[in-house]
Structure 1
Amino acid sequence: MNAEIQKISEFPLGEENIAFEKYFIGKSYLAQITKNEELNVPIYNVTFEPRARNNWHSHSGGQILIVVGGEGLYQEKGKLARKLKIGDVVEIAPNVVHWHGATDKSWFSHLAITCNPTINENNWFDSVNDEEYNKANSQ
């Protein structure tokens, strides 16, 4: 989808997320928020165009998402999807397989906080196919 980029939060949009594009359907943008490595709390603003989403994945140390713009979706494997709006917080326990992304009609932006960064690794799985995505979007 080639939609005009919308400003949906006060956080920077960042650059197109080329480094992780093989794990996404649609375009996403990534901006590093925290820069002081001594604090050991990596926080990124991730912005998705409408219908964009990442693959099923897990984090060995867990992750926290804080919604800062638009509307999105979050789903854990084997559970119903959850619609997300500004102010929602998603606490993802270590090794829980999940995905997140924008709804079909809205841009979506969240802060992604890496938990336990010294041991946290991403494990990437299959893409979220259109059938799974459309079902999640219609719930």
Structure 2
Amino acid sequence: MTILLTLLISFAVFALIFWGLMHMRTPRFRVEREDFVRGLEDVITGQADDNEWRVLTGYPMRHDPELERLRLKCLEIEEEEYTGRMPYLFTDAGLERLREVREQLLTDGAGDDTGTAESDKKPKL
């Protein structure tokens, strides 16, 4: 009887663990615009290392097509201007191009907010 009870409890515990694993979601890493700007600023000012650059540009940004486009542009800049030396990971030309990406990101973000506010002001019929 004890063996049967032990087997039944063991089966119930394993079934519960299996059910829990089946319904668990995978963790997601999501870089928002503010995080991307902050990361670019760290690279531009020489406060980021190679690992931080890889985290910044290594994950696709499917949630924000414009941010994904800028991430790909950063990867293009990396191919041409990356040195990997500290404190500045890029050449002077590369840092200037990253500043342009940063400015574009800041102006695109400001433009989106203004456009949304204007569309909210339209009269409803």
> Which TM bucket (shorter chain)?
under 0.3
| TM-score normalised by the chain length of structure 1 | 0.24
Higher RCO (Cα < 8 Å, 6 or more apart)? 1
More strand by share: 1
| TM-score normalised by the chain length of structure 2 | 0.26
More helix by share: 2
